Amino acid sequence: MKNFIPLHGNYKTLLSFQKAEIVYDVTYHFCQRFLKKGDRTIDQMVQAARSGKQNIVEGSQASGTSKEMEIKLTNVARASLEELLTDYRDYLRVRNHQLWTKDSKEALYIRQLGNTSHTSYESYRPFIETRPAEIVANIAICLIHQTNYLLDRQITRLEQDFIKEGGLRERMTKVRLENRKS
């Protein structure tokens, strides 16, 4: 008899998770360095970054029995990172700091760094822990854009997979019918 619960929970191999983990680490360090202790924004930003990462984990784990839940939680991760993106933009805007344009040399450098095998915070540590707030916020924004791009692609793929393969009930029925035939 075939298994109707597919392999699942391998979130550590997802590039979206790896990038979301970097975003979380960058946000944690950003808040520790540049926001005043007691500022509610710290909790909001760290929790949005954590939610982005953790919902990828939870969605990946739920994927074996609920494609609907996987899609939902991946969308929650995406929404949380969008909230965090707005916090970083607000930080720059209210302080009259410059937001890098998509094609600025700085943004292109960070994007190129992210397109290589740099999938851990360690690759970004020298920038995050030594540069001023304006630069670190812009780096975080670039990383969030990369992560959101990956999540958008992941969500599209999950939708396509669901259309093609169905959910748990369809797989259960298929296995049961095949078992009856044999």
The model's confidence at residue 20, banded by pLDDT at 50, 70 and 90, is: very high
Q: What is the pLDDT of residue 10?
A: 84
* Chain segment 70-116, per-residue pLDDT in tens: 999 999 999 999 999 999 999 999 999 999 999 999 999 998 887 76
- Matching residue, tokens 């999938």: 119
- Residue 84's contacts (CB-CB under 8 Å, 6 or more residues apart) are 23, 27, 45, 48, 49, 52, 144
Q: How far apart are CA 45 and CA 90, in angstroms?
A: 12
Let me know: does 143 contact 26? Beta carbons within 8 Å. Answer: yes
> Picking from 2-16, 52-66, 85-99, which range would have the lowest pLDDT averaged per residue?
2-16
Let me know: does 51 contact 23? Beta carbons within 8 Å. Answer: no
pTM: 0.87
Give me the chain's average pLDDT, please: 90
Percent of the chain with pLDDT over 90: 71
Q: What is the pLDDT of residue 118?
A: 64
Q: What is the pLDDT of residue 114?
A: 79
> Roughly what angle, to the nearest 10 degrees, separates helices 67-94 and 133-165?
160
Q: What is the pLDDT of residue 144?
A: 98
> Picking from 57-71, 77-91, 132-146, which range would have the lowest pLDDT averaged per residue?
57-71
